[in-house]
Structure 1
């Protein structure tokens, strides 16, 4: 697989190099030099999930890794399903929360962990990442106990749900968590600053597990194929996909799936009040506002890191801009969408509700709509119970951590203090 840096095109790497480096020169994102669409999508969609996913990833990676190696990586990573749950006769939720941390990021994090464990060949690596909620748990569980890999997770103190925090802050061992006294964008900035600091980057052998890492992004492509495999052939030709969008990795993966030939008709980028992309899509001006705290907190991102990859698809003429709608959903409509879903007999949480509401605003007669369920409703138990007025039972992974003590270390939004902390613990 050949990739290049969107900021510094001369910075060109293989898949293995991109996975190990995470980011390119000048903090640039790596981007595939070409996409080779599948000749027969229907045949591909008839395959079982793991077998098909290995084919999809082989198509991207090429002969850099053998078919046997890719199949083993996928088989070890994708050990849970991604069912398409009907809400009504023309709208479905792609449920991506059946993994160990009950969130879609289990797919990408586990595949990345398998890749790094295989490709690092015993070299020491430090994963440094920021989370607005679900990334932290997925990454922590994916890497927990892997030799020679330490994980440091930054998260905004008090701005993710208590159960979200417990899922990744109670593991210990090679998992280190830091509660930053600011918002998610500040956490991301601290991570970027660390990568720009040669002493830290080289001294600790830094890598990032955010969706900027190409291995995580590639894993996410696979569940869009899985979604379409559960539709009939007529539906497949007329389906639009609504993606709850914070850092925009999930939407990037959906668009990469289309580049490989998956017949997604249109995309909806659904954001909460952090509406940088919807405003940009309407005005052509990129003007991030200060991050706003919302009930869909994993999407509280005002400067999405993955947007340059999506912009590149349009700028290079790979996709037509008409294929994307960008919609911002406020808090009142989020709650209304949760109630509307409950009235349909489907209990959901705020992020999926944002995607559902945006989808219904764009869906046309005769079309099938898929919105992504990115987290189990119980991860946002307090919010869901308050909005719906009904109790939510905790699934086993949350029951196991509910009463455990958080091992997180609080730090101010100060890079020098973070740097000192990193060298103290690693």
Structure 2
């Protein structure tokens, strides 16, 4: 598999190199030189999830890793359920939160850990990542206890839920966590600065576990195929509209790669909260990030999504106009009302999925006269209990804690506070990580 740097196209690397590097020259994202096209999509959709995922990922890797090794990596990473649940007559939710840290990030993080083990040379490695909530837990759990690998997670102090934080700040060992005085964009900028610093990059064997790492995106491609496979059992030969709760836009990128491979998806909806850089850009063509706004859907509080260049690259390669991508910005009040509406219908959700559900409802309503009747899927990216305070307040309930959260709820937080200052981060890394 060859990939090129979107910022410096002359830089081309193998999959193994892209996994090891994370980012390319000039902070450029790696993107496939060729997106594999699947010839008989119905045969692929009829496969069991694990077998299909093994097949899809091998289409990208093109023999770069031993096939038996890839099969084992996928089987080990994707060993939990992802049910498609009917919510009402027109909408389904793909529940991606049945993994060990109760969020969709488990798919990408666990597969990435397998990839790094497969392509590594045995030298010490430092995983540096920023999280707006769920990435931190998924990455920390995927790498916890692994030899020769240290993980440093940066998160915005006071801007993620307490239970989200507890899932990764209580592990200790090779997991180091920093509570940054700033928003997610500030955390992400510190990570990018670290990758630009040759002393850190080479001295610590730096790698990233954010969705900038291509291995995570390949893993996420697989669950879009599963969503459509389950959907078409109920609605043969119909292509769903898929609404994606969007923050850093890695999730949407994976969906668009799946469609580029031949997956039948009618339209994608990029559903954001009040951090609406992309909806505004799609509306007027001007990229104008505002200051990040804190919302109830904190994992999507991203004003400058890193993966957006990959979305545009996918559209460009496939000849899709950007106008083919639908978008919506859903404010906290509307998200809360949607959360209540879902609960009245018997489905308990959380703020991020509620945003995607609201955007899907509005899109379907605008196409009410279409034949056949349009149907859609929204992604459930996290277990409702990860946002217990918000859900309990909005729904006037008391959600029970699943075991993964109950066992860390009273554990001490081991995170260290730090200013959003690169010099301070560099001092920390060389004092604590080397």
Match of 1:164 in 2: 164
Match of 1:193 in 2: 193
**TM-score, structure 2 as length reference:** 0.97
Partners of 1:286 and 1:108 in 2: how far apart?
28
Change (3 A) 1:162 1:192: same
Moved more, 235-244 or 210-219: 235-244
- 1:383 and 2:384 matched: no
Partners of 2:219 and 2:319 in 1: how far apart?
21
Match of 2:144 in 1: 144
Change (3 A) 1:317 1:36: closer
Match of 1:298 in 2: 299
Match of 2:313 in 1: 312
Match of 1:11 in 2: 11
Match of 2:275 in 1: 274
Which secondary structure does the structure 1 equivalent of 2:241 belong to? strand
Distance apart, 1:361 and its partner CA: 1.0
The aligned runs of 1:115-154 (5 Å cut-off) are 115-154=115-154
Partners of 1:156 and 1:291 in 2: how far apart?
12
The aligned runs of 1:72-151 (5 Å cut-off) are 72-151=72-151
Partners of 2:264 and 2:77 in 1: how far apart?
26
- 1:396 and 2:403 matched: yes
Match of 1:64 in 2: 64
Which secondary structure does the structure 2 equivalent of 1:311 belong to? helix
- 1:424 and 2:418 matched: no
Which secondary structure does the structure 2 equivalent of 1:274 belong to? coil
Contact 1:109 1:216 in 2 (8 A): yes
Which secondary structure does the structure 2 equivalent of 1:103 belong to? coil
Match of 2:41 in 1: 41
Distance apart, 1:317 and its partner CA: 4.3
Superposed CA deviations along residues 343-372 of structure 1, whole A, max 9, x for unmatched, are 110000000000000111112331110000
Partners of 1:29 and 1:216 in 2: how far apart?
13
Distance apart, 1:118 and its partner CA: 1.5
Moved more, 158-167 or 115-124: 115-124
Partners of 1:199 and 1:232 in 2: how far apart?
51
Distance apart, 1:322 and its partner CA: 3.6
Partners of 1:271 and 1:246 in 2: how far apart?
7
Match of 2:210 in 1: 210
Superposed CA deviations along residues 169-220 of structure 1, whole A, max 9, x for unmatched, are 0111110000001111000011111111111111101000000100001100
Match of 1:241 in 2: 242
Distance apart, 1:146 and its partner CA: 1.0
Partners of 2:179 and 2:232 in 1: how far apart?
46
Which secondary structure does the structure 2 equivalent of 1:58 belong to? helix
Contact 2:282 2:323 in 1 (8 A): no
Match of 2:220 in 1: 220
Change (3 A) 1:6 1:418: same
Segments of 5+ residues of structure 1 without an aligned counterpart are: none
RMSD: 1.0
Distance apart, 1:42 and its partner CA: 1.2
Segments of 5+ residues of structure 2 without an aligned counterpart are: none
Contact 2:241 2:269 in 1 (8 A): yes
Partners of 2:201 and 2:381 in 1: how far apart?
31
Aligned residues: 426
Partners of 2:178 and 2:340 in 1: how far apart?
35
Partners of 2:358 and 2:237 in 1: how far apart?
21
Contact 1:6 1:31 in 2 (8 A): yes
Partners of 1:63 and 1:410 in 2: how far apart?
44
Partners of 1:76 and 1:200 in 2: how far apart?
31
**TM-score, structure 1 as length reference:** 0.98
Which secondary structure does the structure 2 equivalent of 1:230 belong to? helix
Moved more, 356-365 or 228-237: 228-237
Partners of 1:320 and 1:282 in 2: how far apart?
13
Which secondary structure does the structure 2 equivalent of 1:340 belong to? helix
